[in-house]
Amino acid sequence: MFREVADVKDILPGGMKAYRVEAKDIVLCNDGGRIYAFDRKCGHMSAPLEMGTANGPIVTCPLHGVQFDVSTGTALSGPLISYAGEPEPPMDNATRWLMRLVAAARTDDIRTYPVRVENGRISVDL
């Protein structure tokens, strides 16, 4: 059943915003006028996706750089744990262990929801 969530003007092009609708946390993303709705939690370690970045329908998690295609919910990458060609910084054993855990954590797809825009209002089918 579609639920009215927001006004189109609330989400700037290229922007994202989190909403709580009927005890469900979702994010609305505006890709140049096309609105996507998806679960708020990253499929890797549950970080809030609205705090990441959006590039078209590709959303990047702010915590470990996992990317999702929010038109389908498909995880496009696992966690990005690299130092961009730089040598690995000095780490103690606990930090090394934590980095291995992050890299080994499973990355699941995220759930997406049908969106309807009518008269400037965004509704989502939960």
In order of start, what are the domains of the chain with their CATH numbers?
A: 2-125 (2.102.10.10)
Burial class (CB within 10 angstroms; exposed 0-12, middle 13-18, buried 19+) of 122: buried
* 20 C-beta neighbours (distance < 10 Å), count: 10
The percentage of the chain sitting over the pLDDT mark of 90, rounded to a whole number, equals 70
Contact 40, 27 (CB under 8 A): yes
DSSP-derived 3-state class of residue 60: strand
The predicted-structure confidence for 40-64, as pLDDT tens digits, reads as follows 999 888 999 999 999 999 999 998 8
The predicted-structure confidence for 75-108, as pLDDT tens digits, reads as follows 998 787 655 556 666 778 787 777 777 777 788 9
Predicted structure pTM score = 0.84
Vertex 116, ends 110 and 117: CA angle to 5°?
125
